[in-house]
Amino acid sequence: MERPLCIAICGLGTVAQGVLELLRNNADIITARAGRPIRVLHIASRSEKAGVDLLGASFSTDLSSVVEDPAVDLVVELIGGEAAADELVRSALVAGKHVITANKAIIATHGDAYLRLAQDAGVAFGFESAVAGGIPIIAALTRGLAANRILSLAGIINGTSNYILTAMSESGQTFAAALHDAKALGYAEADPTFDIEGIDAAHKLTIMASLAFGLGFRFEEVYTEGIDSITSEDIEYARQLGYRIKHLGIARVVPQGVELRVHPTLVPEKQLLASVAGVMNAVMVNADAAGDTIYYGAGAGAGPTASAVVADLIDIGKGTARAWLPAPIEDSGLKVVPMGDIRSAYYLNIPSLDKSGVFARVATVLSEHQISIEAVIQKEQAVQLKADEAWVPIVILTHEVSEGAMNRAIVALEDSEDVIGPIKLIRVEHFDDD
Amino acid sequence: MERPLCIAICGLGTVAQGVLELLRNNADIITARAGRPIRVLHIASRSEKAGVDLLGASFSTDLSSVVEDPAVDLVVELIGGEAAADELVRSALVAGKHVITANKAIIATHGDAYLRLAQDAGVAFGFESAVAGGIPIIAALTRGLAANRILSLAGIINGTSNYILTAMSESGQTFAAALHDAKALGYAEADPTFDIEGIDAAHKLTIMASLAFGLGFRFEEVYTEGIDSITSEDIEYARQLGYRIKHLGIARVVPQGVELRVHPTLVPEKQLLASVAGVMNAVMVNADAAGDTIYYGAGAGAGPTASAVVADLIDIGKGTARAWLPAPIEDSGLKVVPMGDIRSAYYLNIPSLDKSGVFARVATVLSEHQISIEAVIQKEQAVQLKADEAWVPIVILTHEVSEGAMNRAIVALEDSEDVIGPIKLIRVEHFDDD
């Protein structure tokens, strides 16, 4: 048996406690699989937590002392946040320690720098836990599909958003009511901005796209739209058209470069992603040899995230992690496609006057912009505006068109007298032309 | 760049051609990821195939000459069949070559011997391609979930059976008609016995269970039942009860040992596995930390299988495969639970006389065997037997009970005058008590 892998865990929140619990409960199999014991030398956190078994580790509130201990082989960063976590990861790598982090925000922003530091120091950098919790999606992208050119990926990668959309879909709840429940159940944070506005999903998409396409970590170039504008009416219209609304992170190689986008999306109800309910995550990968594969599981929580952290520990303990470390990308040459240049099908919800000829004029405007209609829902119950005026939503599903053309058509429609308010646009994915 | 990994490919069928095509098309990324070029030195097969690009390899009809060449580092066994393939794998391992094989039948039967030979020779043995084609399920079980105790797994792991059941379900086809179509579409072989009777699925279940539970390869102990007794009526009754019928391979750790079984199964329609359609495969794994994860993709075909073969090639080329080779198991101490001792819920289709009091008497017999009823479908259209007699199917869903008790109840029911023929039994999985 080799000498133990000596680690320091920074942070003592839910995930860190999950890691300690897993290291304790499954010590036998973890040691056997790593080929050596994993010994927790230090735990560093702002404050100690009563009742947490520290596995004999020393406790400190001083992060830097932990990193400086020459007996530490590996630092697990679980303090969260950005500035302090970033500093911790960099200083640990520079000090020649292996690093494992579950911090998607700092990887999505500084991942290239971390890979360079790890390469220079000859250490491993593990981040399986940063994307989709217990699903080994980083390993699938880098190892399982290593023989493939990955063409696209699409994922339900934010449990909070998926919980809310599922609740709205299953019980007809409003967004606000579903968000309220999600908070009560612990599925949404007190300040849910990162989840609801798609930022968390954009972090995860950045990491997956970087690995899938050798793109580098380009978080700031991800188009990001959250779920807060989705209404239960949209969900119901989508259902009538044979679709579910899911919040997807999509990355795709196209002739002009790569698309990187996070937004609500109509998904055909027969597509497996449409059936992913509640807080669960799933990622679909389209690769040239393997075709479509899907990876499904819990995207958050102490157990699933700890499962990924400890898988990285075993990989590093075994000595195999470094060989699989992605090379840092200086410039992939790939351009991120501006949203105006992407092509998509669209769901439009057009609030229109309830008068004869309106639909024909709407269809004419779309046609003038080379947009053809796939399906229509019309003549729901009219809502009275004034004594002699009423409005109805015209719901249209279009065929694929460039987003630029779609935006121009929307401006033209919103300028017309027939349309009485802003038009709702939701992108549609068929996944059949990958 | 290190020296090339020099390989011999034995067999020149669909999968071997897929491997050659992938090595040619993706040579750039495969070389970069393996850290060295992969050079095909020899191809050995019974006969050369016109129009296949051999990538500059020599062609031979003599398998043993290929294995004996000291320049060969690695042998890819794709000849299929059993005796010759087994001999090839053993002789290659004994000669100190790394071996990759997609041959589930020989691994399920001789896997322990292969792992021992590989360990003794200090070489790698790769078989990602043997289970579920392009889905990296072997890597998920051994690496992605390495920190976990795996508690159970359940998989749709035979595309032919899933195609047939899907066709029967979607179009109401009979088994015979769906099998006919599957043959015409190339989804079933001329002799479909291995697929239809569940043997192929049992091979794959054996391999997964061996890795998941450290069990050794115990194919001969897998309970195996095929799909040929499933009727479109069963599928329709199951649907009315809220279930789909899927052919599952199930392995589960229970207090008495491990269950290893392959059979048609009622799966709740909300469960993601129920939505896996056509020839696609999916495996659900329940692990103590990660919870439920599901892996979905194409289970067969040249591209997906080649994706897995070349993933193993890259892993071996990188030098990381050997460290992850499962240890050969002499005796895990785990006992395979006899079917009489498993517990399950059941679907029963009881052909009964259409007379008053029959259902009450059936319910009484079940109750006498401590079997409680969860749901019933009764009084479908009666079928006339004689002038004064008619029969109807009584369809019952039971709560969980031991299979021994269920078998005794069935004997008692079939002995009664009310029941006019053999009772159809299909097991039900809820997946909620894992």
CB spacing of A289 vs B304 below 8 angstroms? yes
Number of domains chain B contains: 3
For residues B172 and B289, membership in a common domain is answered with: yes
Q: Nearest CA to CA, how far is A296 from chain B (Å)? A: 5
Backbone phi, then psi, for A389, in 5-degree steps? -135, 145
State residue A433's pLDDT score: 52
For residues B232 and B196, membership in a common domain is answered with: yes
CB spacing of B289 vs A314 below 8 angstroms? no
Q: CB of A266 within 8 A of CB of A426? A: yes
Pick from A293, A256, A296, A291: nearest CA to A276: A296
Q: What percent of chain A has pLDDT over 70?
A: 97
DSSP conformation letters of B127-151: -GGGSSTTS-HHHIIIIITTTSPEE
User: Mean pLDDT in chain A?
Assistant: 95
- Considering the domain boundaries, does residue B318 fall inside one? no
| Strand A291-298 with B291-298, pairing | antiparallel
CB spacing of B294 vs A292 below 8 angstroms? no
Q: How far apart are CA B280 and CA B272, in angstroms?
A: 13
Of A99, A130, A161, the last residue of a domain is A130
Q: How far apart are CA A260 and CA A108, in angstroms?
A: 13
Is the backbone of residue A50 left (phi > 0), alpha (psi -120 to 50) or beta? beta
Q: Outline where DSSP puts E strands in B11-103.
A: 38-44, 58-60, 74-77, 98-101
Assign B399 a pLDDT band (cuts: 50, 70, 90).
very high
Residue B300 in 3-state DSSP? coil
- Considering the domain boundaries, does residue A163 fall inside one? yes
Q: CB of B162 within 8 A of CB of B200? A: no
For residue B237, which amino acid is it?
Answer: Y
User: Mean pLDDT in chain B?
Assistant: 95
Helices (H), A83-223: 83-94, 104-121, 137-139, 159-171, 175-184, 193-196, 199-213
- Considering the domain boundaries, does residue B333 fall inside one? no
> Which positions in chain A touch B276 (Cβ < 8 Å)?
272
Asked if residue B135 has pLDDT above 60, the reply is yes
Beta bridge partners of A42: A8, A58
Q: How far is CA A174 from the centre of its chain?
A: 23
Assign B401 a pLDDT band (cuts: 50, 70, 90).
very high
Residue in A204, A246, A318, A386 annotated catalytic: A204
| Strand A343-353 with A401-402, pairing | antiparallel
Residue in B204, B335, B355, B424 annotated catalytic: B204
Asked if residue A168 has pLDDT above 70, the reply is yes
Instruction: Give the residue from chain B lying closest to A275, CA to CA.
Output: B272
For residues B358 and B222, membership in a common domain is answered with: no
In which domain, by residue range, is A199 found? 138-298
Instruction: Give the residue from chain A lying closest to B134, CA to CA.
Output: A290
For residues B394 and B291, membership in a common domain is answered with: no
| Strand A5-10 with A74-77, pairing | parallel
Asked if residue A145 has pLDDT above 90, the reply is yes
Compute the average pLDDT of residues B244-272. Answer: 97
CB spacing of A276 vs B272 below 8 angstroms? yes
Assign A387 a pLDDT band (cuts: 50, 70, 90).
low
pLDDT digits (tens, 9 = 90+) for A10-24: 999 999 999 999 999
- Considering the domain boundaries, does residue B253 fall inside one? yes
Q: How far apart are CA A209 and CA A161, in angstroms?
A: 20
Q: CB of A427 within 8 A of CB of A346? A: yes
Interface test with B, best of A19, A162, A295 (most B CBs within 10 A): A295
For residues A175 and A64, membership in a common domain is answered with: no
Give the gyration radius of chain B's Cα atoms. 24
Q: Nearest CA to CA, how far is B258 from chain A (Å)? A: 18
CATH of the domain at A407: 3.30.70.260
> Which positions in chain A touch B146 (Cβ < 8 Å)?
29-30, 33, 310-311, 314-315
Asked if residue A115 has pLDDT above 50, the reply is yes
Compute the average pLDDT of residues A213-223. Answer: 95
Q: Nearest CA to CA, how far is B183 from chain A (Å)? A: 22
Asked if residue B384 has pLDDT above 90, the reply is no
State residue A219's pLDDT score: 97
> Least CB-CB distance to A294: which of B289, B290, B297?
B297
Q: How far apart are CA B188 and CA B181, in angstroms?
A: 9
Q: CB of A379 within 8 A of CB of A393? A: no
CATH of the domain at A17: 3.40.50.720
Assign B379 a pLDDT band (cuts: 50, 70, 90).
low
Of A105, A130, A155, the last residue of a domain is A130
Of A298, A313, A331, the last residue of a domain is A298
Residues 6+ apart with CB under 8 A from A9: A16, A19, A20, A40, A42, A43, A44, A57, A76, A78
CA torsion sign, B266 to B267 to B269 to B272? Answer: negative
What is the DSSP code (8-state) at residue A419?
A: B
Compute the average pLDDT of residues A137-156. Answer: 98
> Which positions in chain B touch A253 (Cβ < 8 Å)?
none
Q: How far apart are CA A320 and CA A192, in angstroms?
A: 38
Instruction: Give the residue from chain A lying closest to B31, CA to CA.
Output: A147
Q: How far apart are CA B381 and CA B360, in angstroms?
A: 19
Pick from A409, A418, A33, A377: nearest CA to A238: A377
- Considering the domain boundaries, does residue A318 fall inside one? no
Instruction: Give the residue from chain B lying closest to A38, CA to CA.
Output: B147
Compute the average pLDDT of residues B273-295. Answer: 97
Interface test with B, best of A148, A267, A269 (most B CBs within 10 A): A148
For residues B41 and B104, membership in a common domain is answered with: yes
For residues A218 and A252, membership in a common domain is answered with: yes
> Which positions in chain B touch A313 (Cβ < 8 Å)?
147
State residue A379's pLDDT score: 65
CB spacing of B22 vs A289 below 8 angstroms? yes
Compute the average pLDDT of residues B176-186. Answer: 95
> Least CB-CB distance to A296: which of B128, B272, B323?
B272
Is residue A49 among the annotated active site residues?
no
| Strand A424-428 with A257-268, pairing | parallel
The predicted model scores a pTM of 0.96
pLDDT digits (tens, 9 = 90+) for B67-82: 999 999 999 999 999 9
State residue A47's pLDDT score: 86
DSSP conformation letters of A211-277: HHHT----GGG-EE--STT--HHHHHHHHHTTEEEEEEEEEEEETTEEEEEEEEEEEETTSGGGG--
> Least CB-CB distance to A320: which of B272, B289, B323?
B323
> Least CB-CB distance to A307: which of B33, B148, B282?
B148
Q: CB of A80 within 8 A of CB of A103? A: yes
Q: Nearest CA to CA, how far is A39 from chain B (Å)? A: 15
CB spacing of A294 vs B295 below 8 angstroms? yes
Q: How far apart are CA B242 and CA B239, in angstroms?
A: 5
Q: 């102990």: which residue's tokens?
A: B221
State residue A78's pLDDT score: 97
pLDDT digits (tens, 9 = 90+) for B8-55: 999 999 999 999 999 999 999 999 999 999 999 999 998 888 889 999
- Considering the domain boundaries, does residue B322 fall inside one? no
State residue A333's pLDDT score: 87
For residues B267 and B143, membership in a common domain is answered with: yes
CA torsion sign, B327 to B330 to B335 to B338? Answer: positive
> Least CB-CB distance to B293: which of A26, A292, A296?
A296
For residues B92 and B115, membership in a common domain is answered with: yes
- Considering the domain boundaries, does residue A365 fall inside one? yes
CB spacing of A139 vs B134 below 8 angstroms? no
State residue B434's pLDDT score: 47
For residue A160, which amino acid is it?
Answer: T
For residues A114 and A204, membership in a common domain is answered with: no
For residues A45 and A123, membership in a common domain is answered with: yes
CB spacing of B140 vs A143 below 8 angstroms? no
Burial class (CB in 10 A: 0-12, 13-18, 19+), B190: exposed
For residues A178 and A289, membership in a common domain is answered with: yes
Compute the average pLDDT of residues B349-354. Answer: 93
Interface test with A, best of B22, B100, B128, B143 (most A CBs within 10 A): B143
Asked if residue B433 has pLDDT above 60, the reply is no
Q: CB of B104 within 8 A of CB of B207? A: yes
Assign A434 a pLDDT band (cuts: 50, 70, 90).
very low
Q: CB of A370 within 8 A of CB of A405? A: yes
Compute the average pLDDT of residues A395-408. Answer: 97
> Least CB-CB distance to B144: which of A282, A311, A324?
A311
Q: Nearest CA to CA, how far is A399 from chain B (Å)? A: 26
Burial class (CB in 10 A: 0-12, 13-18, 19+), B104: buried
CATH of the domain at B223: 3.30.360.10
Range in A350-354, B121-125, B220-224 with the lowest mean pLDDT: A350-354
- Considering the domain boundaries, does residue B161 fall inside one? yes
Residues 6+ apart with CB under 8 A from A411: none
Compute the average pLDDT of residues A237-259. Answer: 97
